[in-house]
Structure 1
Amino acid sequence: MSLAARTHAVLQEALDVYQDSPRATSWLQRQLTRFDDPLRLAVVGPRGSGRSTLLAALAGEQPQGEMTWFRTSPGRSQDELMLMDTPAIDGGAAPSTIEGICMDADAVLYLVRRPSGADLSFLHTLQDHPVARAAAVNALIVLSRADELGGGRVDAVISARQVARRYRVAPEVAGLCQDVVPVAGLPALAARTLTEPEFAVLRTLATVPREELEPRLLSADRFAAAEFPAPVAASDRAALLARFGIFGVRLAMTLIRRGADTLPALAGQLVPRSGLADLREAIDGYFVARRDVLKARSALIGLEVVLRIEPRPATAGLAAELERLLAGAHDFRELRLVAALQTGRTSFSAELKAEALRLLGAGGTSRAARLGPDQVLPAVRRWRDQAENPELSAGERRAAAVVLRSCEAMANGTI
């Protein structure tokens, strides 16, 4: 029986136990309902981190209200998420606000402007709950001003990816999130919502001789200055800065000159170069593909809250089942190991890593996506050998044991 099915069953049992408590039954019924709802993804960060910009970039439009729909793959309704806008999380955030986000969201994008001195207290708060601490698999850190990390150069996001690779293995970060992804928010939003008039201005700007344009792209002030080669008006340049930022304008100029001379072509190249495509892929792999696991995680947190707030003798069995579910939830171990392998926190040889990721469901969680039917027993034997291999480090043997457990689950039909 899957984790989601076992969680559903224990919630039904809890409803029977608490049938005389309207508050508890309402809360438990809410957890059951969430199994049928889209995954809830909260965009969280301090003031100035670009929450609204990134939210709009993901949605492809300016959200109207606190919730908006988002699909990682257009046309695939099963990949639908509910994006949650949130108040700024900083030193002045009320504990009730932070607690509300922790309880309402199935997964979280936590935005920071730069790694140095980043306030990660929210992510620590996210793990204050005992269930959340046992299953710390629902957060991504987003370096949301990636262009600033690279000094606004055309290759700024590439430089920011190097920063992210170092940051994701830092001891203070590794246990708090699945991965660290850099995104240049303004160009990402501009790419998703680029208009024909804006594109026309960009194309006109690209006709200015390079030797005249380049000095004016050195800073936002120079680009906005009145002394500028015709025929691009100051008001048009100001509008471009507001929409793209100076990094986005530089990048758009480079792409147009390299052949992206239509609106779809430019938008199509800006999305991956802004880092937005990487973020969508991370959301898809870490969250959407495991939505049933993350929803079960949220429901178990909700169950623990009820058991703690309204204890009674009849709930001893529920509490024991909750502990058994957490102790035996291999789904959480799979998610953690997928992240550890993809980020370099855990290492295997290239061949073992590729096989491990496939067996763990990184390329698809179904049995067919993981392994062919005649390959299961050989895989069990191979990974049992790896789990006992003295040439591997202790960490690698522990990782191999998780892969072995996935293979055994396929062998006994639970996957």
Structure 2
Amino acid sequence: MTGRLVDEVRSLLRAAVDAHRDDPDTAELLRRRLDRMDGPLRVALAGKAEAGKSTLLDALAGEEVTPTGTRVVTHRHGPTPGVAGSPAVDRPARDLPDVTLTDTPDVSATRIPAAEDEADAVLYLMRHLHSADLRLLASFHDRGVARATPVHTVAVLSRADEVGAGRIDALMSARRVARRHRADPRLRGLCQTVVPVAGLIARTARTLRHDEYTALAALAAAPRAEAESAMLSVDRFTRAGPDHAGLLARFGLFGVRLSLGLIRQGFADPVRLAAELRRRSGLDELRGTLSVLFGERRDLLKARSALLAVDAVLRDQAAPHTVPLLTEVERVLADAHEFAELRTIGVLRSGAVAFPAGAGEEAERLLGGAGAGVWTRLAVPADTARRDQRAAAWAALGRWQRWAENPLSSRDFVDVARVVVRSCEGLVDQLDD
């Protein structure tokens, strides 16, 4: 189904390029949009100053190349790193082969990335949830990166090790905070989920050096009282050894404490320590989230941002001969079932429609809110036999058809139910193919 939509979008982009052949700048902008349909998914890291965007980008890419500040930095899949010129720097994203990650300017700044540089999806980083974060997330719907909707945005509690004043249980506390945020109705309408990540620990785990492990192992072998005394403050730890300042810069005080505890528990080589630090940092969970929520619908996300770009150009460069194109763009945005699913997920997350117990969660899942895969939508294991997946799809279809046809259902509920029925029909068709 998405393949047909992508073909429509490509045709619209080609027609728009042709319609602006007398305007080279606009034609080139649209041509770049067309080329991007064949490229990787573009994910922007957004957030206020000091949210940790550059640190997390390095952690995701597995190398420390990101300058800080308001420069736009992209980690792009490719065989060799290369510099594309200021202000963009390209690096291969190693194990993120289908994703281009962009470190955007601080969203609190006056400059927003230009339309042609907008992303297809957004990682919004925040240290804590403040009213300013809610305002900034809401602003993306109108003017920000890819006009984000809930399914285009994942929020990251990006400095999770600072929760609870950096105590040894800080990461567990951060996970509890993230769970509360996920259930917050104000946030549910603005992002898909909230994932806690200790960005500094994640980055260091991906780039851990042997000399750092050796220094940590020596600290772990020292009398525990001596090590604990040194870590009572940053100043005391820095004065306690010549290499401590470097460890502090790379791990933070919490990361040093965590590493010493892990080494004492038996993580007695650099590879095992790095893997456990990465797991505990929340990076693995975030990568899995990106794979499911963004990776599985990458073609749809790219098609949507391309259509929005064409729509903006056609409205800005209004002319009689482009009116049919604008009408066609509006038709595709309104009629394509894939976009209807995205809009309906937003309605569900807004809490504006009342549902029978459990029906709201099932509707969101069947619409692809937890991932676009068939088994994810049907809530069955990936290795479930095809006939059993088909039976589950038919059962869901029958259930939602009854709800859609119930004369006692509200009009808003029926509108949602009809979209869910169409999604179930698509699952049945796919499994019967």
Common fold: TM-score over 0.5: yes
Question: Do 1:199 and 1:263's aligned partners in 2 also have CA atoms closer than 8 Å?
Answer: yes
Deviation of the 1:405 alpha carbon: 2.1
User: Aligned to 2:422, which of 382, 385, 405?
Assistant: 405
Matching residue within 195, 201, 205 for 1:191: 205
Q: Which residue of structure 1 lines up, in the alignment, with residue 365 of structure 2?
A: 357
Q: Give the counterpart of 1:380 among 397, 402, 408.
A: 397
The AA in structure 2 aligned to 1:87 is P
Structure 2: distance between partners of 1:343 and 1:161: 23
Specify the alignment match of 1:266 in structure 2.
Answer: 273
* Partner of residue 335, structure 2: 328
The CA deviation at 1:14 is 2.2
Q: Does 1:318 align with 2:320?
A: no
Deviation, 1:249, is 1.0
Contact 1:103 1:298 in 2 (8 A): no
Matches within 5 A, 1:71-90: 79-90=97-108
Residue by residue, what CA displacement relative to the aligned partner does 1:78-112 show, whole Å, maximum 9, x if unpaired?
Answer: x421111223332xx23xx3142784211222222
| In structure 2, distance between residues paired with 1:269 and 1:304 | 47
Match among 239, 252, 260 for residue 259 of structure 2: 252
Whole-angstrom CA distance in 1 between matches of 2:283 and 2:157: 11
Write the deviation string for residues 321-375 of structure 1: whole angstroms up to 9, x where unpaired.
2222222343245457779999999998779957973673845536998693643
Describe the SS at the equivalent of 1:42: strand
The structural deviation recorded for 1:171 is: 4.0
Does 2:272 match 1:289? no
* Unaligned segments of structure 2, at least 5 residues: 68-72, 79-92, 381-385
Aligned with residue 16 of structure 1, among 15, 18, 22: 18
In the aligned structure 2, how far is the partner of 1:389 from the partner of 1:210? 68
Give how far 1:293 is off.
0.9
The answer to whether the 8 A contact 2:6-2:300 is kept is: yes
Letter paired with 2:304: R
Give the TM-score normalised by structure 1.
0.82
- Paired amino acid for 2:373: T
Look up the equivalent residue of 1:410 and give its one-letter code: L
Give, in whole Å, the separation in 1 of the partners of 2:258 and 2:408: 48
Q: Which residue identity does 1:269 align to in structure 2?
A: E
Is the contact made by 2:396 and 2:424 (CA closer than 8 Å) also made in structure 1? yes
| Residue in 2 that maps onto 1:231 | none
Matched, 1:276 2:293: no
Q: Which residue of 2 aligns with 1:154?
A: 168
Kept in 1, the 8 Å contact 2:188–2:350? The answer is no
Letter in 2 for 1:150: G
Are 1:305 and 2:312 counterparts? yes
* Counterpart in the other structure of 1:41: 43
Answer with 211-220 or 344-353: which moved more.
344-353
Describe the shift of the 1:33–1:411 C-alpha distance in structure 2 as closer, same or farther (beyond 3 A): same
Superposed CA RMSD: 3.8
* Identity rate, percent: 44
* Residues 174 and 23 (structure 1), Cα distance of their counterparts in 2 relative to 1, 3 Å cut: same
Q: 2:383: which partner in 1? A: none
CA–CA distance in 2 between the matches of 1:203 and 1:391?
68
Alignment of 1:193-212 (within 5 A): 193-212=207-226
The whole-number CA distance in structure 2 between the counterparts of 1:169 and 1:412 is 34
- Pick one of 100, 121, 134 that aligns with 2:114: 100
TM-score by length of 2: 0.79
Instruction: Go from structure 1 to structure 2 and tell me whether the alpha carbon gap of 1:339 and 1:301 turns closer, same or farther (over 3 Å shift).
Output: closer
Please give the per-residue CA displacement for 1:56-85, whole angstroms capped at 9, x wherever unaligned.
Answer: 1111102267221369xx9877x4211112
The amino acid that maps onto 2:398 is R
Structure 2 matches for 1:166-185, cutoff 5 A?
Answer: 166-185=180-199
Deviation at 1:377, TM superposition (A): 3.7
The corresponding residue for 1:63 is 65
For 2:246, what is the secondary structure of its paired residue?
helix
**Equivalent of 2:179 in 156, 162, 165:** 165
The amino acid that maps onto 2:43 is L
> Mean alpha-carbon deviation: is it higher for 390-399 or for 323-332?
390-399
Could you say which structure has the greater relative contact order, defined with CA pairs below 8 angstroms and 6 or more residues apart?
Answer: 1
> What number of residue pairs does the alignment pair up?
401
Check the 8 A contact 1:179/1:343 in 2, yes or no. no
Deviation at 1:134, TM superposition (A): 8.6
Is contact 1:168-1:174 (8 Å) kept?
Answer: yes
Q: Which residue of 2 aligns with 1:141?
A: 155
1:217 to 211, 231, 235: 231
Q: What amino acid is aligned across from residue 326 of structure 1 in structure 2? A: L
Q: Describe the superposition over 1:16-35 as per-residue Cα deviations: whole angstroms up to 9, x where unpaired.
A: 33333323321221111111
Q: Which moved more, 1:256-265 or 1:132-141?
A: 132-141
Q: Supply the distance in 1 between the matched residues of 2:169 and 2:404 (Cα, whole angstroms).
A: 42
